[in-house]
């Protein structure tokens, strides 16, 4: 019994130590109900280019870029309609817009270029990862 408790405490301590030593530029899995994170440097090059265009206010390649994202899936934090905007991330193997997007929040100032609130999906809104810049 005591040996089992000691073994459990040792394993828990090792797990905490390993997590604390993880490199900072590693995508982090989220707790249930939370959104996982991904460092901008780990995004596909096309997503980094879309993020750059968002910061610069365009020009965007698709007419739907910058349109309202409704968050019908309710995977992003709840906000008033019109708060989120979607932007296409080019998928080289696709002829149409493909499944990849960056969804940008408008932030306190109302401008997605400066909000620093960006979410990446590569599965057409089935899941999101918050971009860490």
DSSP 84-99: EEEEE---TT-SSS-S
Enclosing domain of residue 35: 2-132
Q: Which positions are catalytic? A: 86, 124
Q: Indicate the average pLDDT of the chain.
A: 84
Q: How many CB atoms neighbour CB 9 within 10 A?
A: 10
CATH at 76: 3.10.450.30
How many structural domains comprise the chain? 1
Q: Using CB atoms within 10 A of its CB, is residue 38 exposed (0-12), middle (13-18) or buried (19+)?
A: buried
pLDDT at position 49: 98
pLDDT at position 5: 45
pLDDT digits (tens, 9 = 90+) for 96-127: 999 999 999 999 999 999 999 999 999 999 99
In this prediction, residues 46-71 reach a mean pLDDT of 96
Residue 26 above 50 pLDDT? no
Percentages (nearest 5) of helix, strand, coil residues in the chain: 25, 20, 55
């Amino acid at each position: 019994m005591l040996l089992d408790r000691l073994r459990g405490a040792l394993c828990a301590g090792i797990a905490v130590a390993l997590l604390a030593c993880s490199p900072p530029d590693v995508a982090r899995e989220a707790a249930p109900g939370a959104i996982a994170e991904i460092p901008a440097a780990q995004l596909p090059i096309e997503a980094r280019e879309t993020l750059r265009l968002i910061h610069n206010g365009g020009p965007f390649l698709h007419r739907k870029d910058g349109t309202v994202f409704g968050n019908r899936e309710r995977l992003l934090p709840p906000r008033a309609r019109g708060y989120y905007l979607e932007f296409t991330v080019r998928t080289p193997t696709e002829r149409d817009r493909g499944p990849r997007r960056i969804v940008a929040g408008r932030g306190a100032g109302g401008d997605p270029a400066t909000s620093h609130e960006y979410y990446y999906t590569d599965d057409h809104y089935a899941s999101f990862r918050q971009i860490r810049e």
